[in-house]
């Protein structure tokens, strides 16, 4: 977990851009962007938010939060597949930035095929690269449609209930929870520390028809709006079963 005062310690007037994760991948710690971003902006730094681990599970308004840049992929909570990611760049910032890596779609006239002139497109389009993966894009669109139909506010309310149930159930079963206990500081990710190799533990869970994710010394349970409390109980019982073998 990151203390908000650490941003005063590490971000100063010489910082060009501060990279901030919305949710920490290891244990699901969720940062308070509404407090951090003004704090960083006061130092004169741009703010780049990595929203990969949580977007789709709680409301995140780039305009209200005054985010300069935000990136995310559709692989995780947006219900997509590998191959599609996106970048938001605030209009007031985009035209002042020159991408270090670009492609033909990032040019002002992509179909001119003028290899001797490099003229970036206006706005965030200058950060486009090559031809997008069309099939993956259709899947990503369908996944985001599901998220918007259910509603991120509804998803946040339910996954908070699931998280609290998961934490209490894990503690009751004697499991070591590495995630924050405060639901307000937590995403739907719940990390449980396991002895030995976490990847072996992940494989053992698969044999119980549980798909979880090994990260370092923990195995993550990543709930979503379709996860039931009964699902969580089954997963936690599988943890105990494997540990007792």
Residues 198 and 137 in one domain: no
Q: What is the CATH number of the domain that holds 84?
A: 3.40.640.10
Dist. CA 66–CA 174, nearest whole Å: 42
Residues 6+ apart with CB under 8 A from 170: 177, 190, 192, 236, 239
Give mean pLDDT in consecutive 10-residue pieces for the chain, a chain of 245 residues: 94 96 97 97 97 97 98 95 93 91 90 89 91 92 97 98 98 98 97 96 97 96 98 98 95
Query: How many C-beta neighbours within 10 Å does residue 143 have?
Result: 20
Q: Which of 117, 150, 183 is the last residue of a domain?
A: 150
Domain residue limits at 203: 152-243
Burial of 180: CB neighbours in 10 Å, binned 0-12, 13-18, 19+ = buried
Q: Domain check: are 18 and 94 in the same one?
A: yes
Say yes or no: 89 and 163 in one domain.
Answer: no
Residue 126 lies in a domain: no
Is 177 contained in some domain? Answer: yes
- Whole-angstrom distance, CA of residue 74 vs CA of residue 130: 18
- Which is nearest to 45 in space by CA: 68, 72, 77? 68
Instruction: State if pTM tops 0.95.
Output: no
- Verify that 81 and 23 share a domain, yes or no: yes
CATH (domain of 160): 3.90.1150.10
Partner residues linked to 4 by β-bridges: none
The whole-angstrom separation of Cα 155 and Cα 161 is 10
Does residue 119 lie within any of the structural domains? Answer: no
Quote the pLDDT of residue 132. Answer: 84
Asked if residue 87 belongs to a domain, the reply is yes
**Residues 95, 62: one domain?**
yes
For residues 18 and 139, membership in a common domain is answered with: yes
Tens-digit pLDDT profile for residues 40-70: 999 999 999 999 999 999 999 999 999 999 9
- The verdict on 88 and 182 lying in the same domain is no
Residues 37 and 146 occupy one common structural domain: yes
pLDDT digits (tens, 9 = 90+) for 69-110: 999 999 999 999 998 999 999 999 998 999 988 889 999 999
The pLDDT value given to residue 207: 97
Is 115 inside any structural domain? no
- If asked whether residues 141 and 202 sit together in one domain, one would say no
Report which of 121, 129, 73 is spatially closest to residue 101, judged by C-alpha positions: 129
Rounded to a whole number of angstroms, the distance between the first and last alpha carbons of the chain is: 32
Number of C-beta neighbours around residue 144 at 10 A: 17
Instruction: Give the count of domains, the chain.
Output: 2
Residue 86 lies in a domain: yes
The SS3 of residue 189 is strand
112 located within any domain: no
Q: Is residue 225 part of a domain?
A: yes
8 Å CB contact between 170 and 236? yes
**Shared-domain flag, residues 166 and 58:** no
Same domain for 81 and 172, yes or no, is no
226 and 161, same structural domain? yes
Residues near 168 by beta carbon (within 8 Å), at least 6 away in sequence = none
Name the burial class of residue 218, with classes exposed (0-12), middle (13-18) and buried (19+) by CB atoms within 10 angstroms of its CB: buried
The domain boundary, picked from 116, 150, 184, lies at: 150
């Amino acid at each position: 977990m990151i203390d908000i005062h650490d941003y005063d310690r590490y971000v100063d007037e010489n910082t060009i851009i501060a990279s901030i994760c919305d949710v920490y991948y290891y244990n699901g710690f969720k940062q308070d962007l509404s407090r951090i971003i003004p704090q960083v902006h006061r130092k004169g730094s741009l703010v780049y938010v990595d929203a990969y681990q949580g977007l789709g599970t709680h409301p995140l308004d780039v305009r209200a939060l005054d985010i300069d840049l935000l990136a995310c992929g559709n692989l995780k909570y947006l219900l997509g597949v590998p191959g599609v990611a996106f970048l938001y760049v605030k209009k007031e910032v985009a035209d002042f930035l020159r991408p270090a890596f670009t492609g033909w779609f990032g040019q002002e006239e992509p179909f001119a095929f003028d290899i001797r002139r490099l003229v970036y497109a206006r706005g965030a389009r200058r950060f486009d690269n090559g031809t997008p993966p069309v099939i993956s894009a259709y899947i990503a669109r369908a996944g985001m449609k599901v998220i918007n139909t259910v509603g991120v506010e509804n998803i946040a309310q339910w996954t908070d209930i699931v998280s609290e149930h998961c934490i209490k159930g894990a503690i009751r079963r004697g499991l070591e929870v590495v995630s924050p206990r405060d639901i307000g500081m937590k995403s739907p990710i719940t990390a449980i520390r396991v002895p030995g190799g976490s990847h072996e533990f992940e494989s053992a869970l698969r044999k119980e028809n549980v798909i979880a994710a090994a990260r370092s010394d923990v195995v993550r349970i990543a709930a979503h709006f379709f996860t039931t409390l009964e699902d969580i109980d089954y997963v936690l019982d599988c943890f105990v079963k494997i540990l007792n073998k």
